[in-house]
Structure 1
C-alpha cells in the first residue's frame, strides 16, 4: 500500500469514529433541546387554557381531544393533592396521517371555584425514527464529502509535496555501486526532505568509497600475492632439479609446492568470488548452454576416460540465457567438475537440458550432502586436499547475481538443478 493511501485509510477510520461519537452526542443534545422547547410550549398552553376557563366555564366541559389540543375532567381533592405536572411521550391517532403518531403530553391539575380539575394538553412532536434517518443520511453525505476531499487533497496537493521523496526513491532504486552515476536530486523548500536528500547523498558516497576501497584492496592483494607465490614455486622447481638433495628433502619440497599451489588456487577463487559479488563482469550476451556443455565434456574427456565414467547429455530443448560468457563457463564448469571429481570409477553423469533448466545427476557417495553447508564458503564435500571449498559458493554467487535458482537433492543419486 502506498504511503498516501495508508495515511488516508487511517484518516477515514479516525474520521468515522469521530463522526459516530459526535452524531450520538448531537442527537441526544438535539432531542433534549426539542423536549425543552415542547415542554415550554405545553406549559404556556396550560396557562392559556386555565386563563380561558376562568373567563368561560364552558371550557371545563371539554372532556376529549376531538375539538382541540386539551381535555379536562373534574377530580376529587384526594386525587389532586398527590399529583404534579407530568410530561409524557405517547401516541395518538391522527386523522390526516390515518395512523398513530407520537405526541408530547402534559398532565396537570388546577383548581377553580373550589373544584379540582385534571387537564391534559398535547402537542405534536418530531418522530424519532424520521429524525434518526435524516441525521444518518446527512452525516453519511458529510463523511463521503470529507473522504472525497481528503482523497483530492492527497492526490493533488500532498502528491506534489511528496514529489522530492518519490524522486529520491526512484533514483536509489536505479543506483548501482558497480556502475555509479551521481545522484541528481530535486530541490525542495521542505527541511525534512532537504535533510533526507543530504543524508542519502552522504550514504551513497560513503558506500561508494567503501566499495572502491574494497575492490582495490582485493585486486591489489591478489596481485601482490600472486607474484611472490609464482616466484616461490619457480625457485622450488629449480631446487628440485638439483642433484645433491636427499629423498627426504625432495618430499618436503614437493609438500611445500603442493601447499603453495593450493594457496594460488585459493587466491584466484577468492578474487573471482569477490568480482562476482561486486558485479564486475559487465559484458553480457546470449549463451547457448547446450554447446557450452558439449565443450566441457570434451575438455574433461581424459579424466572421464580415466575414471571410466559414463556421460549422457540429453538435450530436450535449446537452453539460451543472457549472461557473461566467463561466468556461464565457470557456473557449468564447477558443477560438472564437482560431478566428475566426486564420482567413483565406473559411475555415471546424466545431464538433462530443458529450455529454462539444467539438471545434472551423478553417482557418488551413497548418502545425501548437508544442504545447510553445501553452498557456504570453505565447505568441502569430502576431505580432499585439492579442493578449497569455494567451488559451490562461486556457483551460488553467480546464480544469485542473475536471479537463477539452484537446488540439490539426493534420490539414490546426487541431483543438481539450475532453474533460469
Structure 2
C-alpha cells in the first residue's frame, strides 16, 4: 500500500468517527428545533382556540379530535388550578395512514363564564424512525462522496505534490554501488522534500566516496601483500634447493612455505569475499547450473578418486540462473569441494538439480553441524591447517548477493540446498 492510500485509510476511519459524532449532535439539535417549532405553533393555536371560544360558545362542544385537531371538555376548579401547560409526544390513530402515528400534544386549561375547561391541541410531527433512516442514508452517501473526492484528490493532485519524493525513491531503488551512476534529485519548492533530497544526496555521495576508498584500499592491500609473499616463497624454495641445509632446516623451511601459501589463499579469499559484499561483480548472464555441475564433476574427478568419494548427479530439471558466471562457478565449486574434503573414504557426494533449486549431499561425520555457525568466517569443523574457514562464508555472500536462499539439513547425510530465482 502506497503512502497516499495508507493516509487515506486512517482518514477514512477518522471521517467515519467524525460523521458519526456529528450525526448524533445534528439529530439531537434538529429534534430540539422541531419540538420548539411545534410547541410554539401549539401555543399560538391554543390562544386562537380560546379567543374563538369566547366569541363562539359552540366551540366548547368540540369534545373529540374527530374532524379537528383539538378537543375541549369541562373540568373542576381544583383540577384547573393544578394544571399547567404540558407538551408531550403521543400516538394517535390516523385513518388515512391506518396506523398509529406520532403527534405532539399540548394540554392546558382556561376559564370561561365561571367554568373551567381542559383544552388539548395536537399537531402532526415527523416520525423519528423515518428521520433516523433518512439521516443514516444521507450520511452514508456523504461518507462515500467524501472518500471518493479525497481519493481523486490523492491520485490526481497530491501525486503531483509527492512527485519529487517518488522520483527520489526510484533513484534509490535503482542505485547500485560499483556502477557509474549519477544521482540527481528533482528540484522542488517544498521545504521538507528539499531537505530530504539534500540529506539523501549527501549520504549517497559519502557512501560512494567511502566505497571507492575501501575498494582502492582492498585492491592495493591485496596487491602489496601478494608480492612480498610470492617473493618470500621463491627465496625459501631457492634456499631449500641448496644442499647446505640439514634435514631439520629443510623441514622448517617447508613448514614456512606451507604457511605462506595458506596466507596467499587466505588473502585471495578475503579479497574475493570483500568484492562480493561490495557488489563489484555487476555483470550478469544466464548460467546453466547443470552445465556448471557437469564441468566441476570432471574437474574434481581426480580429487574425489584420491579421497575415495563417488560423485553422482541427478538432473530432475534444467536449471538456469541469472548471475555472474565466475561467481556461479565459485558457489557450486566451494560446496562440492567442501563436500569432498569433509567426506570419508568410500563416501558419496550426490548432486540433485530441480526446477528452482540444487542440492549437494555428502556422507561424513555422524553428527549434524551447527547451522548458526557454519557460514561464519573462519569457522572450522575440522583441524585442517590448509582450510581457510572462508569457503562457506563466500557461498553465503554469493547467495545473499543474488537474493537466493541456502539451507543446511542432516538426515544421515549432510545436505546444502540452494533455492534460486529463475530468470523470467
TM-score, normalization by structure 2: 0.94
The aligned residue for residue 274 of structure 2 is 274
Name the CA distance, whole Å, in 1 between partners of 2:209 and 2:171.
19
**Do structure 1's residue 216 and structure 2's residue 216 form an aligned pair?**
yes
Following superposition, the deviation at residue 330 of structure 1 comes to: 1.5
| 1:11 equivalent in alignment to 2:11 | yes
How many residue pairs are counted as aligned between the two chains? 420
- Aligned partners of 1:353, 1:140: CA distance in 2, in Å? 58
Q: Which moved more, 1:296-305 or 1:73-82?
A: 296-305
State the Cα deviation string for residues 329-379 of structure 1 (Å, max 9, x = none): 212221121111111222222223334332222221111111111111111
Partner of 2:341: 341
Is 1:36 aligned to residue 36 of structure 2? yes
Per-residue CA distance 1:159-181 (angstroms, 9 max, x = gap): 11111111111111111111131
Aligned to 2:66: 66
Shift of 1:217: 0.7
Shift in CA distance, 174/118, structure 1 to aligned 2, threshold 3 Å: same
Query: Which piece of structure 1 moves more, 294-303 or 83-92?
Result: 294-303
Cα RMSD of the aligned pairs, angstroms, is 1.8
Q: Distance in 2 between matches of 1:372 and 1:158?
A: 48
Partner Cα distance (1:146, 1:319) in 2 = 53
Quote the Cα distance in structure 1 between the aligned partners of 2:99 and 2:292: 94
Give SS of 2:280's match.
Answer: coil
Q: Identify the residue that residue 183 of structure 2 maps to in structure 1.
A: 183
Q: Which residue of 1 aligns with 2:325?
A: 325
Structure 1 Cα separation of the partners of residues 85 and 201 of structure 2 = 80
Report the counterpart of residue 140 of structure 1 in structure 2: 140
The gaps in structure 1 that reach 5 residues or longer are: none
Question: Which moved further from structure 2: 403-412 or 285-294?
Answer: 285-294
The equivalent residue for 2:235 is: 235
Distance 1:320 1:127 in 2: 74
Counterparts in 2 of 1:121 and 1:295: CA distance versus 1, 3 Å: closer
Distance 2:153 2:296 in 1: 63
In the TM superposition, residue 17 of structure 1 has moved relative to its aligned partner by: 1.2
Of residues 250-259 and 367-376 in structure 1, the stretch that sits farther from structure 2 once superposed is 250-259
Aligned to 2:380: 380
Return 214-223 or 335-344, whichever deviates more: 335-344
SS at 2:82 equivalent: coil
Distance 1:46 1:8 in 2: 55
Q: 1:184 to 1:35 in 2, by over 3 A?
A: same
Match of 1:295 in 2: 295
Deviations 1:71-98 (A, max 9, x none): 1111112222222111121122223323
CA gap of 1:156–1:356, structure 2 versus 1, over 3 A, is closer
Distance 1:336 1:85, change over 3 A: same
Deviations 1:98-148 (A, max 9, x none): 322211111111112221111111111122122222222222222222222
How many Å separate the matches in 2 of 1:383 and 1:323?
33
2:370 paired residue number: 370
Q: CA deviation at 1:215?
A: 0.7
Where does residue 167 of structure 2 map in the other structure?
167
Task: Using the TM superposition, name which of 74-83 and 34-43 deviates more.
Answer: 74-83
Query: Corresponding residue for 1:192?
Result: 192
Instruction: Tell me the distance in 1 between the aligned counterparts of 2:282 and 2:122.
Output: 94
Change beyond 3 A, Cα 1:97–1:308: closer
Distance 2:240 2:380 in 1: 31
Is 1:22 the counterpart of 2:7? The answer is no
> Does the CA contact (< 8 Å) of 2:185 and 2:201 recur in 1?
no
Gaps of 5+ in 2: none
**Range that drifts further, 344-353 or 112-121:** 344-353
